[in-house]
Amino acid sequence: MLGGFPYWLVLGLGTLWASFVPARWRETGLALLAFALVVNHDPVAAGIYLAATLAVWTLVRRGGGYLTAALTITALAAGLLASKIAEQYGNGSWASPLGISYLVFRLIQVVVDARRKAWQRSPELMEFLHFLFTPALFVAGPLERWGHWETPAEGASGTRIATGIWRIVIGLLKKIYVADLILPAIANHTGWTVPEAMGAHPGAAAVWQSCAYSYLKIYAEFSGYSDIAVGAALLWGRRPMENFNWPVIASTPADFWRRWHISIAQWCSSCVYLPVMGLMRSVWIPMLASFIVMGLWHGLGWNRVAWACWQVAGLLVFITWQKRLGRPKPGTWRTGRGWKLASIAFTQTFVVASYVFMLHGETVPVRDSLGLLLRMFGWPP
Per-residue confidence at 339, pLDDT binned at 50, 70, 90? confident
Domain end residue (candidates: 116, 151, 186): 151
Per-residue confidence at 239, pLDDT binned at 50, 70, 90? very high
Judgement on whether residues 134 and 271 belong to the same structural domain of the protein = no
Judgement on whether residues 134 and 168 belong to the same structural domain of the protein = no
Is the sign of the CA dihedral 340, 345, 351, 354 positive or negative? negative
Query: Domain for residue 78, yes or no?
Result: yes
CA atoms of 120 and 197, how far apart (whole Å): 53
Q: What percent of the chain has pLDDT over 90?
A: 51
What is the number of structural domains in the chain?
2
| Domain interval for residue 235 | 163-376
Whether residue 94 is predicted with pLDDT greater than 60 in this model: the reply is: no
In this prediction the pTM is 0.90
Domain end residue (candidates: 151, 177, 211): 151
Cis peptide bond upstream of 380, omega within 30: yes
Query: Domain for residue 157, yes or no?
Result: no
**Residues constituting the chain:** 381
- In the predicted model, what is the mean pLDDT of residues 289-311? 90
Domain end residue (candidates: 151, 180, 205): 151
- In the predicted model, what is the mean pLDDT of residues 182-200? 89
Judgement on whether residues 206 and 65 belong to the same structural domain of the protein = no
Phi, psi of 108 (to 5 degrees): -60, -45
Tell me: the pLDDT tens digits for 49-81? 898 899 889 888 877 667 777 777 887 777 777
Tell me: the pLDDT tens digits for 111-158? 888 888 888 888 999 999 999 999 999 887 799 999 899 888 887 788
Q: Smallest Cα–Cα separation from 274: which of 109, 119, 122?
A: 109
- In the predicted model, what is the mean pLDDT of residues 236-262? 94
Judgement on whether residues 61 and 169 belong to the same structural domain of the protein = no
